[in-house]
Amino acid sequence: MRSIGHFIGGKAVKGTSGRFADVYQPMTGDVQAQVALATKAELRAAVENAKAAQPAWAATNPQRRARILMKFLELVARDNDTMAELLAREHGKTIPDAKGDILRGVEVVEFVLGVPHLMKGEYTEGAGPGIDIYSMRQPLGVVAGITPFNFPAMIPMWQFAPAIAAGNAFILKPSERDPGVPMRLAELMLEAGLPAGILNVVNGDKEAVDAILDDPDISAVGFVGSSSIAQYIYERAAQTGKRAQCFGGAKNHMIVMPDADMDQAVDALVGSGYGAAGERCMAVSVAVPVGKTTGDRLMEKLIPRVESLKIGPSIDPSADFGPLVTKAALERVRNYVDIGVQEGATLAVDGRGFKMQGYENGFYLGGCLFDNVTKDMRIYKEEIFGPVLSVVRAHDFDEALRLPSEHEYGNGVAIFTRDGDSAREFAARVNVGMVGINVPIPVPVAYFSFGGWKRSGFGDLNQYGADSIRFYTKTKTVTARWPSGVKEGADFAMPTS
Ligand code: NAD
């Protein structure tokens, strides 16, 4: 069986803890590999390597650093097919979807090729007599990222590309469920010319995460995963004075106004609700039709579409979605469907009986659709993270606006309408971080930035875009006077301008 260790100091190394986690192949249900779970000492070895390599990397001019990332992009393109298949086999998503996972990471690497420009500081001439002021951005040193299972290519790239481009050394702790692609990305960075020690991968669980949080030489931590862990990491990182940006779970609503193009809305709901088996933090999991007629029209079109979703093994390119990531995830999601029925929601499409012929042990669940879901139900309040869409009917625009605004999560939201006034008012007033207008999964492009509000994001800077360079650098401001001819004498009052 394949054994996955760590990638430290530019080398693949075996784990020494004697502790391992199973890596499944969700489409068959088999265990296909074992991944080592790191000890504190192994994390420390990665930090030592990173610390030793970082000063020379920071001193390498930013254009040269960007050139290595450019070479990395070529290598990712070269290995795209094999990497997408590895990703699909470990995660369960389909191969076309796995290619999207890689590409959305690549787009952020493309953005940070502009790091020489992004790192530029500011300059003011003549801020006082003979005084000029300038600011510069300097890397933090050694930084770390802890990533979730659901985007094993994209989210590691969102984190390590800006951090490394800015001159930091990076320690990645990927999800133990699908560590194959993150390891591959680190190998490709080395092949592209990145000095050993600048990108390390330490596989593991809570023990490795806690070692990161307590390590005095790690200056910043990026986290993406569920909200309770995001909050834990945010709080514990703060205790040791680290910078932290921690992104959590979601319950993304899509409002369907009476004037929406109903076919377009239904396409958007099935794609964004069931794609990747609903295991996306920007998946739409709540549809909110406004008015009874809209609700009835929506259900009439939605039910047959959900019933005819094509579920298949990850290697079937014609499948709409594949299995869930683990048996535990499958049981969790099925349990939520049972809860919804007990709570009194109408299960309009029941996917619990679905069996994938030839893959009977895989972690499959058919698409499920609930109607008449209400605000007090657990299936509305909690993140399900599976192919389950809940329809909550709203009487009017104000009620539809209040639902996502008052929900504890605030990652993404969408409104489908042909009316500019309601779209504009919705975008301005809704208490959610990313808004789509007739766009169901409003993941901003790489040169904007990604971040949810409320319990979907702890910390004040977003992922990627210019925010990422701010997060992974500190600003130094220099006030300089070259005093030829300027004689002021000693001044004991606070200097002002
Ligand atoms: P998770 O919280 O279980 O795991 C995320 C990471 O935390 C993994 O690396 C894991 O090893 C580590 N971890 C798990 N338990 C821990 C513990 N007790 N202490 C310390 N570390 C721990 O999340 P997941 O199941 O891998 O991913 C799915 C979740 O991620 C969903 O909630 C989804 O909404 C969220 N997500 C959010 C975003 C976003 O940008 N907001 C993006 C993708 C996924």
Q: For residue range 377-409, what is the model confidence (pLDDT) as tens digits?
A: 999 999 999 999 999 999 999 999 999 999 999
Tell me which of 101, 171, 205 to substitute to probe ligand 1's pocket, judged by most ligand atoms within 8 Å of the beta carbon: 205
Q: Is the CB of 226 within 6 Å of ligand 1?
A: yes
pLDDT of residue 490: 80
Q: Which of 154-168, 257-271, 451-465, 476-490 has the lowest mean pLDDT?
A: 476-490
DSSP code of 311? B
Strand, coil or helix: what is 383? coil
Q: Is the CB of 411 within 6 Å of ligand 1?
A: yes
Distance 232 CA to ligand 1 centre (A): 11
Please compute the mean of the pLDDT values over residues 303-331 and round it to a whole number. Answer: 97
Q: Name residues whose C-beta falls within 8 Å of residue 414's C-beta, 6 or more positions apart in sequence.
A: 252, 253, 254, 255, 268, 272, 284, 435, 436, 437, 438, 439, 440, 441, 442
Distance 227 CA to ligand 1 centre (A): 8
Q: For ligand 1, atom 15, which residue shows the shortest CA distance? A: 206
Distance 247 CA to ligand 1 centre (A): 9
Rounded to an integer, what distance in angstroms lies between the CA atom of residue 219 and that of residue 243?
6
Strand, coil or helix: what is 222? strand
pLDDT of residue 486: 63
Domains of the chain: 2-248+456-478 (3.40.605.10), 252-437 (3.40.309.10)
Q: Is the CB of 178 within 6 Å of ligand 1?
A: no
Q: Is the CB of 148 within 6 Å of ligand 1?
A: yes
Looking at the CA of residue 146, tell me the nearest atom of ligand 1. Answer: 9
Rounded to an integer, what distance in angstroms lies between the CA atom of residue 310 and that of residue 319?
5
In the block, tokens 């079109």 appear at 301
pLDDT of residue 363: 98
Please compute the mean of the pLDDT values over residues 20-39 and round it to a whole number. Answer: 98
Task: Return the percentage of the chain with pLDDT > 70, whole number.
Answer: 99
pLDDT of residue 494: 85
Tell me which of 209, 221, 468 to substitute to probe ligand 1's pocket, judged by most ligand atoms within 8 Å of the beta carbon: 209
Distance 204 CA to ligand 1 centre (A): 13
148 pLDDT higher than 80 = yes
pLDDT of residue 361: 97
Q: Is the CB of 147 within 6 Å of ligand 1?
A: yes
Q: Is the CB of 205 within 6 Å of ligand 1?
A: yes
Distance 316 CA to ligand 1 centre (A): 27
Please compute the mean of the pLDDT values over residues 268-278 and round it to a whole number. Answer: 97
pLDDT tens track for 205-233: 999 999 999 999 999 999 999 999 999 99
pLDDT of residue 391: 98
Distance 229 CA to ligand 1 centre (A): 7
Which residues does the annotation mark as catalytic? 281
pLDDT tens track for 427-452: 999 999 999 999 998 999 999 999 99
Looking at the CA of residue 452, tell me the nearest atom of ligand 1. Answer: 41
Rg (CA), the chain: 25
In the block, tokens 């986690």 appear at 21
pLDDT of residue 489: 76
Rounded to an integer, what distance in angstroms lies between the CA atom of residue 439 and that of residue 236?
36
Do 140 and 165 touch, CB atoms closer than 8 A?
A: no
Q: Is the CB of 225 within 6 Å of ligand 1?
A: yes
pLDDT tens track for 452-497: 999 999 998 999 999 999 999 999 999 999 876 566 678 788 877 7
pLDDT of residue 488: 67
Q: For ligand 1, atom 21, which residue shows the shortest CA distance? A: 206
Of 153, 186, 148, residue with least CA distance to 50: 186
Strand, coil or helix: what is 72? helix
Distance 249 CA to ligand 1 centre (A): 8
Alpha-helical segments (H) within 113-205: 115-118, 154-165, 180-191
Q: For ligand 1, atom 17, which residue shows the shortest CA distance? A: 206
Do 161 and 132 touch, CB atoms closer than 8 A?
A: no
Looking at the CA of residue 173, tell me the nearest atom of ligand 1. Answer: 9
Q: For ligand 1, atom 42, which residue shows the shortest CA distance? A: 281
Q: Is the CB of 285 within 6 Å of ligand 1?
A: no
To the nearest 10 degrees (0 to 180), the angle between helices 180-191 and 154-165 is: 30
Q: For ligand 1, atom 22, which residue shows the shortest CA distance? A: 206
Please compute the mean of the pLDDT values over residues 346-358 and round it to a whole number. Answer: 96
pLDDT tens track for 241-254: 999 999 999 999 99
Do 43 and 216 touch, CB atoms closer than 8 A?
A: no
Of 83, 27, 54, residue with least CA distance to 322: 27
